Amino acid sequence: SQTIHQWPATLVQPVGSPLSLECTVEGTSNPNLYWYRQAAGRGLQLLFYSVGIGQISSEVPQNLSASRPQDRQFILSSKKLLLSDSGFYLCAWSVRRGGSGEQYFGPGTRLTVT
């Protein structure tokens, strides 16, 4: 069966510090991968998605970037965090071809920028 991991689970970082959040998927190959941010326990904002290694699409211009160095690894980064980067970050995957498109989410990372 497929599993998706995210770490760290929680993170407290000062303004201006760098960020690296990691997401890995097991039990599947060639997945689509997604990064979302959830603010205030409500709506989900799609930040980035990837359909393959090195292929990243950004949905919203911002202080963050994403990379996919391996097929099942997705990394969210920032060089200098802002207070507004605080939130709950969710990674998700879906089957690239042949599926009906449901996305499967990781457990999330709670980021607090102080």
In the complex, which residues of this chain contact other proteins (CB under 8 A)?
A: 6, 32, 34, 41-44, 46, 49, 51, 57, 88, 90, 92, 94-97, 99-108, 110
Shortest distance, position 29 Cβ to other proteins, whole Å: 15
CA angle 61, 48, 105 (to 5 degrees): 140
16 or 30: whose CB is closer to other proteins? 30
32's CB contacts (< 8 A; 6+ apart) are 49, 50, 51, 93, 94, 95, 96
Task: Round to whole Å and give the CA distance between 19 and 32.
Answer: 23
53 or 95: whose CB is closer to other proteins? 95
CA 107 to chain centroid, in Å, comes to 11
Shortest distance, position 73 Cβ to other proteins, whole Å: 17
Shortest distance, position 55 Cβ to other proteins, whole Å: 11
